[in-house]
Structure 1
Amino acid sequence: MRGAVQDSVLAGPSPELAGRVRRICEREDWCGVLCHLWPEARYISYVTMGTMEQYFPAIKHFVGETVPVLGTDYLASECPIGINLERMSPPEETTYVLLPTAAYFEFIPFDTHAGRRAAAAEPMDITGVEASKTYEVVATMFRGLYRYWLGDVVKVTGFHNSSPRLQFVIRAPPPQENSDMVIERDVMAAMDTFQLMLKDVKESLPAGGEVIEFAAFISDDGGGRRRRAKIAIQVSKGSRLLDHERSGLRTPSLPSAVATL
C-alpha cells in the first residue's frame, strides 16, 4: 500500500492528470462532474442529518444519475447510535434502527411545540418509548459508565423487531435555556418555496441569481410581542435581485431577499 501511494500519488506533478481535471471543470454544466473526476466511483456516502440535509440537492446534481448517493448511519462522538437499513432513502425519509448494545440508551420526552422537555419528564429506556413521539437521547457508555446528554431530539417512527426506528428532528437547546428554536426541516421548506419564487423571477429578470448560502435567526418584531424566524439569503454576484433591492425597485414576485417562516 505504501509503495503504491508513493509511486502514484506522491510521485510528483502529473501534467496529464492536471489537464484532465481542468478540462472537466471548465464545462459549463457540472451535472455528474464527480463521476467524471472519479470514473471508478461506485457510490457516494453522505451525512443527511440536520443542517447537512440542505446540501443534498447540490450533491445529487454533482453526482448525476449513474452513481447512487447513500445515507450514512447515526453516529456520535461518544458511540454509534443507529443503523440506516435503507440507505437509498432521501434525507426526509431516513430513519435509523437503534443499536441497543452500543450503549445504555435513555429517552426523555420532548415537547417540540414548546421547544423544551415535557413537563415532569423522566428518562425511560427503549422499552418505554412510543411510536410518533419525540425524545431527547441520553447514552451511558459501557467503558467508564459516562452518561451523556447527546443534545439530539429524535422521533420514534416505528420499530424494527424490538428496536425503535429513530428519525432525527432537531438539536435541542441546553436544558437551562428556554429559547425559540428553528427546526431545520422548516427552514428547508421555506427555502424550497424561495427557490420556486426565484425561478419565476429568473424568467422575468435575466441573471436573477442563484442562492449561495443562507442562515436562519430569531427576530423580535414589535417590541418583543411578536417573534419570527427569518432567513438571510446570499445570492450570487451579478444578480439583478441585488440591484433591485439596493435601488428600492420592486422585484417581480419577490418583494424581499429575506424569507420569513
Structure 2
Amino acid sequence: MYIQMIAGLYQRLQILLIGAPFAYTLIHSIDFLRENWPQLVQDITTGTLTDKITDQNLRDSVSDLLKSSNPRLGNFIAHHCSNSEDWSGIITKIWPNTKCLKTIVTGSMSQYITMLDYYSGGLPIASMRYACSESQLGLNLKPLRDPSVCNPSEVSYTLLPNMAYIEFILQKPTDDDAQQDIFNLTNVELGNMYELVVTTFAGLYRYRVGDILQMTGYHNTAPKFKFVARKGALLSVGVEKITEAELQKAVEDASGLQRSYGMIVEDYTSYTDVETMPGHYVMYLELTVPNGEAGESLTLLDGGAKKVLERCCSEMEDGFNELYKNLRMNGKVGTLEIRVVRGGTFAELMDSAVSRGASIAQYKVPRCIRVPYMLDILNRRVVSSYFSLASPPQWEPYKSIC
C-alpha cells in the first residue's frame, strides 16, 4: 500500500479513478495516508525510499519515480494533509482529476458511504460489477446514475448467463432445507428474494454462494437483482434470529442520532454474549469525529454523548423483529449493549486476519464475531459501554404474546 501511495502521489494529475474491491479497503487506504503522510512527504522531498520497505522488487518498482527529489510536490501534500482537523474532500484536493470512486457499497458495505462522501467531497460511487470468489456474475449497466435518484447501496446488477449456470432458492419465512423451491433465470419473479446457487466451469455443482438477492426488474429480458445480505442469522440467544439486513438497518437507524451529536460510526460488529443470564447482544462501535485528529475516536464521552448512545441502544432494539421484542419483554433476552472501542481497532482486526492468510483485497469486516482472537482484540480495546434504556412503552403488547 505504501508503494501504491507513492506512485499515486507522484502521478496525482493522471489519476482519473480511485477504487478498491470493497468500500472498507478504500476507507482503509485513506486512513493509511492520514497516518503515514509525513514519511511519504519526506521520501518525495528527498527522492529516497524509507528503509521500512525491504522488498527489493517493491523498491525497484518506484526507482524511476524517485530518481530526483520533488520538494514542490512534498510541500503540496504536506499543506493538505497537515490540517488533520479537516480532511473533507481530501481525495479531490490531492487527485483533482478524479471522476468517481469505484467500489462495492451494497449490503453491509453501505456503512461506509458517509465516510466516502466526506473524504471525496461527494464524488459519484460506481459499483460496477457483482462477483464472488466462485465466479463473475453480473454488471451494473448504470454505474453512474444520479445518487439523488439511486442510492449507491441500492444498485442493481444484470446477471450474465454465460459466466455460470445460475439458479435461485426462493426465500420464505418458513423455509427449511427439506423443502425448497429452485428457479432458474427465466422463472424468477419481481420483488422476490432468492438465495444464489451457481454451477461453474471450474467444477462447482449447485454451489450455494450464501448471498441473498432481490429481483428488481429487467434489462431487455435479463433479470436484474440487488444484493440484500448474506444468508443466515447473525445473532441469536434463543429461538429469535437477527439477520445481517436487520442488523444493518438497526445500525443505520441509530446512526442518525449519532450524527446529530457529531459522531460517525467508522465501523461496527456484533457478538452474542451467552455467558450472562439472560444472554444479550453486544454491538462494538468505532466512533470518529470527521474533523478531528487523525484516527481520533470518541473514547471519553461526556454526559450528552452517553445519553445519545443509550438512546441508540433502544433505537437498535426497536428495529429488531417481534420475536426479539417478545423475549426482551419476558426477560429471556437481556438488554442490548454498545461497547465503544478505540480508534484503529477495526484496522487491527484486518491486520490480524491478513497476517493469518486472509486477502487484503477481499477482506470484509465480519458483522458477527465468533473467532476468539478477534473477540480478544475487541475486548482489549473497549473504553466504555452503554446499555439500552427501559423497554419502550410500545413494546408492552409483546409481553403477553407467548
TM-score by length of 1: 0.75
Q: Secondary structure at the match of 2:189?
A: coil
Amino acid at match of 1:187: L
1:180–1:218 Cα contact (<8 Å) kept: no
Match of 2:87 among 24, 30, 47: 30
Q: For the Cα contact (< 8 Å) 2:130–2:137, is it kept in 1?
A: yes
Query: What is the rounded CA distance, in whole Å, between the counterparts of 2:189 and 2:87 in structure 1?
Result: 45
Superposed CA offset, 1:110-139 (max 9, x none) = 23x45x557611422112211111111111
Aligned to 2:269: 215
1:37-186 → structure 2 map (5 Å cutoff): 37-65=94-122, 67-88=123-144, 89-111=150-172, 113=173, 117=176, 120-144=179-203, 146-173=205-232, 180-184=241-245, 186=246
Q: Once the 2 structures are TM-superposed, how far is the Cα of residue 231 of structure 1 from its aligned partner? A: 3.0
The C-alpha deviation readout for 1:125-176, integer Å capped at 9, x for no partner, is 11221111111111111344644221111111222222111111111139xx
> What SS does the aligned partner of 2:232 have?
coil
**Following TM superposition, by how much is the alpha carbon of 1:92 offset from its aligned partner in structure 2, in angstroms?**
3.5
Distance 2:153 2:99 in 1: 23
Which structure has the highest strand share of the two? 1
Letter in 1 for 2:250: A
- If asked which structure has higher relative contact order (CA below 8 Å, sep 6+), I would say 2
1:84 is aligned with what amino acid? Answer: N
Change (3 A) 1:15 1:160: same
Tell me the distance in 2 between the aligned counterparts of 1:158 and 1:199.
34
In the TM superposition, residue 56 of structure 1 has moved relative to its aligned partner by 1.1
Shift of 1:218: 4.4
SS at match of 1:132: coil
- Cα distance in 1 for partners of 2:92, 2:152 equals 21
2: CA distance, partners of 1:55 / 1:238: 16
Unaligned runs of 5+ residues in structure 1 are: 203-207
For structure 2, the residue ranges without an aligned partner over 5 or more in a row are 1-59, 145-149, 234-238, 289-295, 320-402
What is the SS of the residue equivalent to 2:186?
coil
Say which SS state the counterpart of residue 137 (structure 1) adopts. Answer: strand
TM-score with structure 2 length normalisation? 0.51
| Residues 209, 241 of structure 1: 8 Å contact kept | no
Which of 307, 310, 331 aligns to 1:255? It is 310
The alignment of Structure 1 onto Structure 2 pairs a total of residues equal to: 240
- What letter is aligned with 2:194? Y
Alignment partner for residue 232 of structure 1, among 265, 281, 284?
A: 284
Which whole-Å CA distance do the structure 2 matches of 1:48 and 1:210 have between them?
17
Residue type of the partner of 1:32? G
Two-structure CA RMSD over aligned residues (Å): 3.6
